[in-house]
Amino acid sequence: MICRSLVLASTSPFRRELLGRLGFPFATANPRTDESPLPDEVPEDTALRLSEAKARAAAPLFPDALVIGSDQVAVLDGQVYGKPGTHGNAVKQLRAMRGRTVNFFTGLCLLDARTGQARVRGVPTLVTFRALSDEEIESYLRREQPYQCTGAAKSEGLGIAIIARQCGDDPNALIGLPLIALCDLLKEAGCPVL
């Protein structure tokens, strides 16, 4: 069982639900982090940097905790697709991604607030989208409204119907919190889940 208090530096209900699957208590905190990429920053580096920045932003509120930060980017042909925010942006994203394979790269950080030591991992998930018609895109968006999901792909819901296949080491990474990597990081930190 976990030997330290845990904090999830996220307001995402999806990440909260995923962490809850491990069966131990945890607190949540809003990391209030600027998620803008740095000039000339590689998208995968953005996700890694932001996962650590989110954990560090929440750490002062929980000085004895292990703080979990996570961030995700979707990358296609070097272009980053984030949370669309609006219906129009979601349509544009899904039209660009239909029939294509997109790298959903999730950065994960476990920060020891006592020592300041950060353990950071990146977990890629390659997602191939179905060759959706405009009507199918509209139907999906009307029903799911995934405007706060990276790439407008809410795979834990109806979004599974727009995906042809996915390839990655952790099925939870696509939802936003790679639990397999997190279990490894917790064990490295001296706090194994089992």
Catalytic residues, by residue number, are: 71
The backbone region for 85, taken as left when phi is positive above 0, alpha when psi lies in -120 to 50, beta otherwise, is: left
Indicate the length of the chain as a whole number.
Answer: 194
Separation between Cα atoms, residue 123 and residue 177, nearest integer Å:
9
Phi, psi of 58, deg, nearest 5 = -85, -25
Cβ atoms of 95 and 142 closer than 8 Å: no
Cβ atoms of residues 163 and 157 within 8 Å: no
For 152, residues 6+ apart whose C-beta sits below 8 A from its C-beta are: 81, 84, 89, 90, 93, 94, 141, 146, 159
